[in-house]
Amino acid sequence: MTTEIRVRRPTIPELLWGQIKYQNRIFWRTPIAAFFTLVFPLMLLILFTAIFGNEEIEELGVTTAQFFTPGLAVFAAVSATYTNLAIGTSISRDQGILKRIRGTPVPPWVYIAGRVGSAIYIAFLSIVLMMGVGMIFYGVELIPRTVLSALFTFFVGTGCFAALGMFVAAIAPNGDTTPAITNGTLLPVAFISDIFFPPVDPPTWMVVAGNVFPLKHFAVAFRDAFDPTLTGAQFHWPELGILSIWGVAAAVIALRFFKWEPKAGESGRGASVRRDEGRG
């Protein structure tokens, strides 16, 4: 009844490109993810500049928008990678989609790279959107000499948070608990990472706690690349180093514990036996 189509075996780059496109398509059809990644951080920018007025923050020597825009762009990029990858991947596992993928010729790493690639692409869009709005409406400056460091920081930072997102996906019991884990970590850390408040006389504990986590380093390195009061190329090697350590550690643990089969709200070997028994 039917004739097969013989086509060339897809190359690995073709497979990878296909996976990225397909993850992007899913993203745009998940309005809640698109809202929290692209629209919500913009709302914060509009809100903060409205509350504080777009005046110069005396202690920092830059305007409110010049301070908040890069930080909120980082926050958006972290939502696009850390939050979306963790939630999306654990939901896909619950639904059995990861198991299906394991039964196809797509190499596992290509699938994961497709998800991560798509997340970093969305993160890039969110940063461009945020910086664009900042520049057009709030007079935020872009400094040509630091564009390279901004881009490099972007890739190191989103790589780190993509790894952390996959780490959460690996350890989370199911997709219902993942949003609690990502929001319960990202929001408190954002408060001590100079994202929502300028660092004007912060308590010492807050500085120390903020330095432990990777978000502040991402924000500082990225923001300084847009700071007109600074000079030089603004490559923040210590910050980039800390981001790399977090990213590599998260990736190693994620690889160790990642599961392709639904965990069904339980974990460990006993669960898979019970499931087997139920299903024959």
Partner 1 sequence: MAVIEVSGLVKRYGDLTAVDGVDLSIEAGEVFALLGPNGAGKTTTVEILEGHRTRDEGHVAVLGFDPAGGGREYRERIGIVLQDGAVERELSVREALQIYGSVYPRRLPVDDLIEMVGLQSKADARIKTLSGGQQRRLELALGLVGDPDLVFLDEPTTGFDPSARRQAWQVLEGLTSLGKTILLTTHYMDEAQHLAGRIAVIDRGRIVAEGTPETLGGRDEAVTRIRFALPPDAKPESIPIRGTRMANGLIEIETASPTRTLHDLTSWAVAEGIELERLELTRPSLEDIYLELTRDD
Contacts of 239 (CB under 8 A, 6+ apart): 153, 217, 218, 220, 221
Q: If binding is defined by CB under 8 A, does position 201 make contact with partner 1?
A: no
Angle subtended at Cα 176 by Cα 211 and Cα 162, rounded to the nearest 5 degrees: 40
Output DSSP code: residue 249.
H
Are 68 and 33 spatial neighbours (Cβ–Cβ below 8 Å)?
Answer: no
Q: If binding is defined by CB under 8 A, does position 176 make contact with partner 1?
A: no
Q: If binding is defined by CB under 8 A, does position 96 make contact with partner 1?
A: yes
Q: If binding is defined by CB under 8 A, does position 16 make contact with partner 1?
A: no
Figure out which of the listed residues 3, 144, 201, 256 binds partner 1, where binding follows CB under 8 A: 3
Q: If binding is defined by CB under 8 A, does position 15 make contact with partner 1?
A: yes
d(CA 163, CA 172): 14
Over its C-alpha atoms, the chain yields an Rg (Å, rounded) of 21
CA quadruple 188, 114, 91, 124: dihedral sign: positive
Q: In the complex, what is the shortest distance from the CB of residue 145 to partner 1, in angstroms, rounded to a whole number? A: 42
Q: In the complex, what is the shortest distance from the CB of residue 137 to partner 1, in angstroms, rounded to a whole number? A: 32
Q: For the window 107-136, what string marks contact with partner 1 as x by the rule CB under 8 A? A: x-----------------------------
DSSP SS3 for 56: strand
Q: If binding is defined by CB under 8 A, does position 5 make contact with partner 1?
A: yes
Q: If binding is defined by CB under 8 A, does position 95 make contact with partner 1?
A: yes
| Residue ranges binding partner 1 (CB under 8 A) | 1-10, 15, 18, 22, 25-26, 29-30, 92, 95-97, 99-100, 102-107, 261-262, 269-270, 272-273, 276-280
